[in-house]
Amino acid sequence: MTMIETTYRDALRLALTETMRADENVIIMGEEVGRYGGAYGVTKGLIEEFGEDRVIDTPISEPAIIGSAVGAAMAGLRPVAELMYVDFIGMTMDQLANQAAKIRYMFGGQIGVPMVLRTQGGTGRSAGAQHSQSLEAYVMHTPGLRLAMPSTVEDAYHLLRQALMQPDPVVFIEHKGLYTMKGTLDTDAEPAAWGKARVMREGADLVIVSYSRQIHHALAAADTLASEDGIQAAVIDLRTLNPLDFDTIRPLVEQAGRAMVVSEGVMTSGVAAELAARITEECFDFLEDPVVRVAGEDIPISVSPLLEQNSVPTPELITEAVRMMLK
């Protein structure tokens, strides 16, 4: 085993480095990914090892970055395109949703688009309304796009390695609040299968389903509920939203009879809404209460740290919602 203590950011860089060493067709492209090292430092130092032909600083044009990546992928390369913020994904939706997501279907399966779009989202940096959103529902809504959202150092490494092996486009969203998080990484361990959720905590009273940074809030809430109220909550980390591993969710919800979905995205028409509807449809006969959604407020994110923090779920809000469910 190769066990190392590292950060979420460095685990991502290691995954890119190892994959680029093993496959000369892997390239990186985006704004300031080369000499600057990426907006959040993930690609720092890669241009020195792999050169400007494989770590490409692009013009400030998100449609050009994604459009070029789509063409490169169709031509035989495996590009990793970086968008500084997921907030900019709207400018790329023609290239991403109308082209990359549709190519395999439109060409009758003869060609795919094996690219990864790396970006980051979420709150926590007082970056304001245009740089703090959680727009994963945009991606999840589009057939043909895969979506990974790692919550741990281990998954930052292994999920990115797996994403770089997929035959179709993968949107890989990293939470900006996790880059400095430390953890143990075993690079030689057999990772969980692509598209497989992970049960982070066992519990028979209810099931909390979440992903990305909210997994840590859900685990903190579950610990508080166990120590103060004797409530045992299971916590499921989805890891990928497409593929969605409902086979892991179903038996735990059927056993507990209660479920909560936690998402940093907005409440209305968000990921939490889709998951709550799916659980209700497939586990209806086993539910003791309606599925509860704990999600972001339907408002633009404030630059104020206090308002920003309280516009998305917190451990305290999750704890309060569980107590209301079970009182």
* CB burial string 180-198: b at 16+ within 10 A, e below: ebebebebeeeebebbebb
Q: Tell me, which fold does domain 3-186 have in CATH?
A: Rossmann fold (3.40.50)
Range 11-39 average pLDDT: 97
Q: Is 141 a catalytic residue?
A: no
Range 51-56 average pLDDT: 98
pLDDT in tens, 139-157: 999 999 999 999 999 999 9
Report the share of the chain in percent with pLDDT over 70: 100
Range 37-49 average pLDDT: 97
What average pLDDT does the chain have?
97
pLDDT in tens, 247-304: 999 999 999 999 999 999 999 999 999 999 999 999 999 999 999 999 999 999 999 9
Is residue 201 within 8 Å of residue 234, measured between CB atoms? yes
User: Is the predicted pLDDT of residue 189 greater than 80, yes or no?
Assistant: yes
Q: Is the whole-model pTM more than 0.85?
A: yes
Is residue 222 within 8 Å of residue 45, measured between CB atoms? no
146 φ/ψ angles, rounded to the nearest 5 degrees: -90, 155
For the structural domain made of 198-326, what CATH number should be given?
3.40.50.920
Q: Which of 131, 175, 216, 217 is catalytic?
A: 131
Partners of 30 in the beta sheet? 57, 82
209 φ/ψ angles, rounded to the nearest 5 degrees: -105, 125
Residue from 23, 1, 15 nearest 161 by CA: 15
Range 178-207 average pLDDT: 96
Owner of token pair 């994959």? 19
User: In this predicted structure, what is the pLDDT of residue 2?
Assistant: 78
Distance CA 155, CA 197 (A): 11
Strands (DSSP E) found in 150-251? 170-175, 182-186, 198-201, 206-210, 233-237, 240-242
Is residue 319 within 8 Å of residue 224, measured between CB atoms? yes
Residue 1: pLDDT band (50, 70, 90) is low
Q: Where in the chain is the domain with CATH 3.40.50.920?
A: 198-326
| Coil/strand/helix, residue 249 | helix
User: In this predicted structure, what is the pLDDT of residue 327?
Assistant: 86
Q: Where in the chain is the domain with CATH 3.40.50.970?
A: 3-186
User: In this predicted structure, what is the pLDDT of residue 237?
Assistant: 98
pLDDT in tens, 100-145: 999 999 999 999 999 999 999 999 999 999 999 999 999 999 999 9
